[in-house]
Amino acid sequence: MNRRRLWLLAVLLPLAIAGAVGLSLRAHAQSSSVLKPPVGAKLAIVVFEDLQCPDCARASQLLEQAAHTYKIPLVRHDFPLAMHPWSFDAAVLGRYFDRKSSKLGAEFRDYVFQHQAEITKENLRATAERFAQEHSTTLPFAVDPRGKLTGEVNADKDLGTRIGINHTPTIYVVTNGRNSQPFVEVVDRSELFRIIDTLKAEAQ
């Protein structure tokens, strides 16, 4: 190896290492910021979900029950999987109803989960129109004319990818981290209430 190659190696290797460390730190910063309760809450449940995912539908009721029981926020992030043909469009529709109210957006997601087996890419729009009619609201012909809602779904998906999400649902119980672990992933959902109890006791 000649001197020039040695010099290039000496200069470029530290830069490459620094770049990799920087990426790791940025990913850590992203996970630290998203895996926290909303302002004013000590504890919360965070879920990355896909509206076409059957296991997300099964988990949804349990998560809402836990949030209601413990009076803690349930923070939902969109993570539509490429294998599901209508999940991304459903997430965009969910964002539209969120704009009406967060309650209506949550109700739409629950409605999709309840009717998941009947929904196809072709009848998704009709399903959303039926939901809108049943909730005394309207669904415009162009739900996302400027692409803002699509951008929000993509931002959630990118965020999940950066912090290492690779399946749905991915569920965390998160705290403000002052007196307890900052977050715990719920791998076994039968442990959800126990994990909340543990983190709640630590936080107090």
pTM summary value = 0.82
The answer as to whether 173 is a domain residue is yes
The answer as to whether 87 is a domain residue is yes
The answer as to whether 9 is a domain residue is no
The answer as to whether 167 is a domain residue is yes
Q: What are phi and psi of 32, to 5 degrees?
A: -65, -35
The answer as to whether 169 is a domain residue is yes
Specify the number of domains making up the chain: 1
The answer as to whether 4 is a domain residue is no
| CATH number assigned to the domain comprising residue 56 | 3.40.30.10
Query: Which DSSP letter does residue 116 get?
Result: G
Do 35 and 182 form a contact (C-beta atoms < 8 A)?
yes
Per-residue pLDDT for the chain (204 aa), expressed as one digit of tens each? 555 554 444 444 444 443 443 333 334 434 456 788 999 999 999 999 999 999 999 999 999 999 999 999 999 999 999 999 999 999 999 999 999 999 999 999 999 999 999 999 999 999 999 999 999 999 999 999 999 999 999 999 999 999 999 999 999 999 987 767 899 999 999 999 999 999 999 887
Copy the structure tokens of residue 31: 């996970």
Taking the alpha carbons at both ends of the chain, their separation in whole angstroms is 61
The answer as to whether 161 is a domain residue is yes
Copy the structure tokens of residue 16: 């490459």
The answer as to whether 8 is a domain residue is no
Rounded to whole angstroms, the Cα distance separating 26 from 49 reads: 23
The residue segments making up the domain with residue 51 are 38-203
